[in-house]
């Protein structure tokens, strides 16, 4: 591979961008960037019923969110447009006519019922269901009769007999298919719209695509595409089919195993760089032990040689772990900005986010940053800062405040809080240390009662974070509630 590499992502806009599609896009993008080649995005919208502009926008937005930009194609333009298949229908029609003229394609007038009867017949005989070529040699007269009856027609490709079709797959090695099992397939439907296998070949060939990297589910389409490359006299590109993505139980990845769309992860507060990092590990393995990579590092390290043939397993716990790593490294401003909508939705904050409020929220986010797997989780962790009515979460918490040392600990704590010039995490840490030293009771007998008295809980963020978030007045008010004056 070199800088003449031209790869593409060719989604069908029939729904949002999914994990599998995003992984294909990422692998293509990494190859384009690694070799200084070109990434092309085009839209395969020939399924008129299911395609929508809304899905197209969703897919493009999700790609950009992941950091996967493109050099040519939809919204960008380029020398090989248009980049939406429904805007290229002339190209497909012309090519189909050429194949018909060459005798490599023909009109077929079979009805659904006839095709179904043939299918059932073959199945009953234990044979592969396929089209047996009834309309292969219709005369002009036969055709005229059928047309006069108002029969709909499709265009089928005439599959040559007894050929071995070899896909030299960069991930799988040589995969051999026999042409005899294929049966003449439809390349243009009765409404004049090309089928996927036909349009994809013309697009890849005419757009100068050098490498087709896509999901394994398309491997069985590839012999059909190779036949069309030969018939149209185009050199096929190199192919790489990346493995299926399975759930942890080894069944096909579905919603049961976790959300499948990229937007679902975005809306839960996953970071795009974490998703991209997770996606690359669905099939590719790094050389060493390290699993956390920026896109720039991946551009350096990625190669198809290290893409596995066997299925990748989607493990949401691993995604959460990776996302947690990225959250830990993210600037608190960014995380706070992301947290605001969740805090609003949970009713913790309302109205305008003033700079003071934002600063206070930053302290809150800092206090839980190390324990978040994704930002939406924040609402489960920060109730202690917003609910001023303190309830003991359980008996264990209540018991902590019954210890005989409590009055002494609380009196000393109140005094120290009152004395603090400025309450920030640093000062608070020093104050707590001094307090423990002064009381000579050991850390646990000081920290746990203060935590419980302030929050009603025996666990939660670090005390040196909780105290500055609450501030002096709310601390005193909470102590009055839980341990009395």
Residues near ligand GLU, by CB under 6 A: 10-12, 44, 200, 214, 218
CB of 213 to ligand GLU, least distance (A): 8
Q: Comparing C-alpha atoms, which of 190, 185, 188 is closest to residue 136?
A: 185
| Beta partners for residue 84, in sequence order | 43
CB of 264 to ligand GLU, least distance (A): 19
Which residue number, 182 or 349, has a Cβ lying nearer to ligand GLU?
A: 182
CB of 290 to ligand GLU, least distance (A): 30
CB of 2 to ligand GLU, least distance (A): 22
Those residues with Cβ within 8 angstroms of residue 341's Cβ, 6 or more apart along the chain or in another chain: none
Which residue number, 196 or 413, has a Cβ lying nearer to ligand GLU?
A: 196
CB of 232 to ligand GLU, least distance (A): 16
Residue 178 φ then ψ, to 5°: -100, 135
Structure tokens at 288: 């060493």
Contact 98, 56 (CB under 8 A): no
Instruction: Let me know if 337 is exposed, middle or buried by CB neighbors in 10 A (0-12, 13-18, 19+).
Output: middle
Residue 37 is classified by DSSP as -
Residue 127 φ then ψ, to 5°: -105, 160
Contact 197, 225 (CB under 8 A): yes
DSSP conformation letters of 332-345: HHHHHHHHHHHHHH
Contact 215, 24 (CB under 8 A): yes
Alpha-carbon distance of 461 to 144, in angstroms, equals 81
Structure tokens at 213: 């990297």
In 5-164, where does DSSP find H-type helix?
19-35, 53-65, 89-101, 112-124, 140-148
CB of 217 to ligand GLU, least distance (A): 7
Alpha-carbon distance of 28 to 17, in angstroms, equals 15
Residue 212: how many CB atoms within 10 A of its CB? 23
Choose, from 255, 309, 433, 444, the residue flagged as catalytic. Answer: 255
Which residue number, 211 or 214, has a Cβ lying nearer to ligand GLU?
A: 214
Which residue number, 189 or 416, has a Cβ lying nearer to ligand GLU?
A: 189
Which residue number, 20 or 324, has a Cβ lying nearer to ligand GLU?
A: 20
CB of 268 to ligand GLU, least distance (A): 24
Strands of the sheet containing 211-215, edge to edge, are 72-73, 38-41, 6-9, 211-215, 238-242, 164-169, 173-178
Which residue number, 47 or 163, has a Cβ lying nearer to ligand GLU?
A: 47
Which residue number, 46 or 455, has a Cβ lying nearer to ligand GLU?
A: 46
Which residue number, 12 or 277, has a Cβ lying nearer to ligand GLU?
A: 12
Those residues with Cβ within 8 angstroms of residue 198's Cβ, 6 or more apart along the chain or in another chain: 92, 95, 96, 157, 187, 188, 228
Contact 108, 153 (CB under 8 A): yes
Residue 348 is classified by DSSP as S
CB of 224 to ligand GLU, least distance (A): 11
Alpha-carbon distance of 37 to 45, in angstroms, equals 25
Contact 60, 74 (CB under 8 A): yes
255 is catalytic: yes
**Residues labelled as active-site residues:** 255
């Amino acid at each position: 591979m070199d800088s003449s590499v031209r790869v593409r992502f060719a989604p069908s806009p029939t729904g949002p961008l999914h994990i599998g599609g995003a992984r294909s896009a990422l692998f293509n993008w990494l190859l384009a960037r690694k070799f200084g080649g070109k990434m092309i995005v085009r839209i395969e919208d020939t399924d008129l019923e299911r395609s929508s502009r809304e899905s197209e926008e969703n897919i493009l937005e999700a790609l950009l969110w992941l950091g996967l930009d493109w050099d040519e194609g939809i919204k960008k333009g380029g020398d090989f447009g248009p980049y939406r298949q429904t805007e290229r229908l002339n190209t497909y029609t012309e090519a189909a006519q050429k194949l018909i003229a060459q005798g490599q394609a023909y009109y077929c007038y079979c009805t659904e019922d006839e095709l179904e009867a043939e299918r059932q017949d073959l199945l009953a005989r234990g044979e592969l269901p396929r089209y047996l070529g009834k309309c292969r040699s219709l005369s002009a007269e036969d055709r005229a009769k059928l047309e006069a009856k108002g029969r709909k027609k499709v265009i089928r490709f005439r599959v040559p007999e007894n050929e071995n079709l070899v896909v030299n797959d960069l991930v799988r090695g040589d995969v051999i298919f026999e042409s005899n099992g294929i049966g003449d397939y439809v390349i243009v439907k009765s409404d004049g719209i090309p089928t996927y296998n036909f349009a994809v070949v013309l697009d890849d060939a005419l757009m100068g695509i050098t490498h087709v990297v896509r999901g394994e589910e398309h491997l069985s389409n590839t012999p059909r595409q190779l036949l069309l490359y030969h018939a149209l006299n185009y050199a096929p590109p190199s192919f790489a089919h990346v493995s299926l993505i399975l759930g942890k139980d080894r069944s096909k990845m579905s919603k049961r195993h976790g959300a499948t769309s990229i937007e679902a992860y975005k809306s839960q507060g996953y970071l795009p760089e974490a998703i991209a990092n997770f996606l690359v590990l669905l099939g590719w393995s790094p050389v060493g032990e390290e699993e956390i990579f920026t896109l720039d590092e991946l551009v350096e390290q990625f190669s198809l040689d290290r893409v596995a043939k066997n299925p990748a397993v989607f493990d949401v716990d691993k995604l959460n772990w990776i996302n947690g790593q990225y959250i830990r490294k993210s600037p608190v401003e960014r995380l706070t900005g992301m947290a605001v909508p969740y805090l609003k939705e949970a009713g913790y904050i309302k109205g305008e986010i003033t700079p003071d409020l934002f600063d206070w929220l930053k302290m809150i986010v800092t206090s839980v940053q190390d324990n978040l797997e994704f930002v939406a989780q924040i609402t489960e962790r920060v109730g202690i800062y917003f609910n001023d009515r303190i309830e003991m979460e359980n008996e264990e918490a209540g018991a902590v405040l019954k210890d005989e040392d409590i009055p002494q600990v609380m009196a000393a704590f109140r005094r120290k809080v009152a004395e603090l010039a400025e309450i920030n995490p640093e000062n608070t840490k020093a104050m707590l240390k001094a307090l423990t030293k002064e009381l000579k009771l050991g850390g646990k007998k000081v920290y746990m009662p203060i935590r419980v008295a302030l929050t009603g809980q025996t666990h939660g963020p670090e005390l040196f974070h909780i105290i500055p978030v609450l501030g002096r007045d709310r601390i005193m008010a909470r102590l009055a509630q839980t341990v009395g004056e």
